[in-house]
């Protein structure tokens, strides 16, 4: 089931939360809406769900215009940042809710409901918790129940609003991988909102980078990470060294280079190498993060090199090194960070 958004606009007072966004999500895709907080990504998701009304624009599900449909008839599954489980219902009743409110012909029998709920709880590995109250579960468990609840009514698409951001780091990672696996099994068209670039890169088939109510770039994780369309995307996706320079014609320019693209050597290897002084070297997993201060650059340049390479280099804080910045990408400076 594909999702299409056409020229969507939404303002809150004078503030444009969504500024003419058009977007297509193909059937079965898992797409991340990535952007800083307040960029309009959650508003966009809520409009798709029907929880918020757009000022203008259209939402199409599988080519059918559903812009004016009430939430209830849109048949989208929605997962909230803070789970939004019904606090007075057991886990089982939470998941069964969407089936129990069905009317007439569609209303499943008691037995069908019970089978479906148990199946879903098993799928999210929560079948042991049917009789528990939400307050007795951990954050990660609650979010899995919320996911089962959203899937119970067989929604056309699944929308997730910062689904992992309220969880602690370890659970977040675990749940992220688990969701990826689940999506590979059931292939429901899904859109999730996140401000965590790592999460978007790891989980999504495609990333839509949103800033100030508009789309900056969309593409596969490789595309947006390796070929950022502009300075904002470069800066937002991953760790980066920033250089402010004046070009020959006098206009301001900004250059970016990722720490793992920065090379270090003891002797000058290229004419463009910059000389600097190591101020700090710290182990980061299998890498070493080296900070080099360079004349004319306010903040130290960060280089990330493999531990072996660092050992082979044989340098320590206080030593002089030559920094290779050939991988730098330069944009005209038309925005502020």
> Could you say which residues in the range 46-75 bind another protein, by CB under 8 A?
49-51, 71-72, 74-75
**Tokens describing residue 195:** 């401000």
Residue 8 vs 85, nearer CB to another protein:
85
| DSSP per-residue string spanning 125-159 | T-GGGTTS-GGGS-HHHHHHHHHHHHHHT--SEEE
d(CA 331, CA 337) in angstroms, rounded, equals 13
- Identify which range of 144-152, 184-192, 234-242, 301-309 contacts another protein by CB under 8 A: 144-152
| 135 binds another protein per the rule CB under 8 A | yes
| 150 binds another protein per the rule CB under 8 A | yes
d(CA 23, CA 46) in angstroms, rounded, equals 15
Q: Indicate the SS3 state at residue 65.
A: strand
Residue 78 vs 256, nearer CB to another protein:
78
Residue 84 vs 300, nearer CB to another protein:
84
What are the distances in angstroms from CA 298 to CA 96, 170, 241, 244, 322?
A: 58, 35, 11, 10, 17
Q: What is the DSSP letter of 105?
A: G
Q: What is the DSSP letter of 259?
A: G
| 130 binds another protein per the rule CB under 8 A | no
> Least distance to another protein from the beta carbon of 163, Å?
13
Residue 75 vs 180, nearer CB to another protein:
75
Q: Compute how many residues bind another protein; rule: CB under 8 A.
A: 32
Among 27, 53, 112, 136, binds another protein (CB under 8 A): 136
Torsion sign (Cα): 27, 36, 13, 163: positive
> Could you say which residues in the range 98-117 bind another protein, by CB under 8 A?
98, 101-102
Q: How many alpha carbons lie under 13 Å from residue 315 in its C-beta half-sphere? A: 26
| 165 binds another protein per the rule CB under 8 A | no
Among 84, 281, 300, 313, binds another protein (CB under 8 A): 84
| 145 binds another protein per the rule CB under 8 A | no
d(CA 263, CA 268) in angstroms, rounded, equals 11
Among 8, 66, 85, 208, binds another protein (CB under 8 A): 85
| 243 binds another protein per the rule CB under 8 A | no
| Residues that bind another protein in the complex, under the rule CB under 8 A | 49-51, 71-72, 74-78, 80, 82, 84-90, 97-98, 101-102, 133-136, 146, 149-150, 152-153
């Amino acid at each position: 089931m594909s999702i299409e958004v056409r020229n969507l606009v939404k303002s809150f007072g004078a503030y444009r939360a969504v500024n003419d966004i058009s977007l297509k999500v193909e059937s079965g895709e898992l797409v991340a809406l990535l952007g800083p907080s307040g960029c309009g990504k959650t508003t966009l998701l809520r409009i798709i769900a029907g929880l918020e009304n757009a000022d203008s624009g259209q939402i199409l599900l599988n080519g059918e215009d559903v812009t004016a449909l009430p939430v209830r008839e849109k048949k989208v599954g929605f997962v909230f940042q803070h789970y939004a489980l019904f606090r007075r219902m057991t886990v089982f009743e939470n998941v069964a809710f969407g089936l129990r409110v069905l009317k007439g012909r569609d209303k499943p029998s008691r037995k069908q409901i019970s089978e479906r709920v148990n199946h879903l709880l098993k799928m999210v590995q929560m079948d042991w918790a049917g009789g528990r109250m939400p307050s007795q579960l951990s954050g990660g468990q609650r979010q899995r129940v919320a996911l089962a609840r959203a899937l119970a009514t067989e929604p056309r698409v699944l929308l997730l609003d910062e689904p992992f951001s309220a969880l602690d780091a370890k659970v977040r990672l675990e749940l992220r991988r688990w969701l990826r696996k689940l999506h590979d099994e059931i292939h429901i068209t899904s859109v999730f909102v996140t401000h965590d670039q790592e999460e978007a890169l790891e989980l999504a088939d495609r990333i839509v980078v949103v800033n100030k109510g508009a789309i900056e770039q969309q593409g596969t994780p490789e595309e947006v990470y390796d070929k950022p369309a502009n300075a904002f995307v470069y800066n937002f996706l991953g760790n980066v060294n920033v250089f402010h320079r004046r070009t020959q014609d006098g206009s301001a320019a900004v250059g970016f280079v990722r720490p793992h693209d920065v090379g270090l050597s003891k002797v000058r290897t290229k004419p463009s190498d910059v000389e600097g002084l190591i101020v700090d070297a710290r182990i980061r997993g299998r890498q070493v993060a080296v900070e080099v201060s360079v004349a004319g650059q306010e903040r130290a340049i960060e280089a990330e090199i493999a531990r072996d390479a660092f050992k082979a280099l044989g340098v320590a804080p206080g030593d002089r090194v030559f920094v290779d910045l050939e991988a730098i990408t330069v944009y005209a400076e038309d925005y502020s960070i």
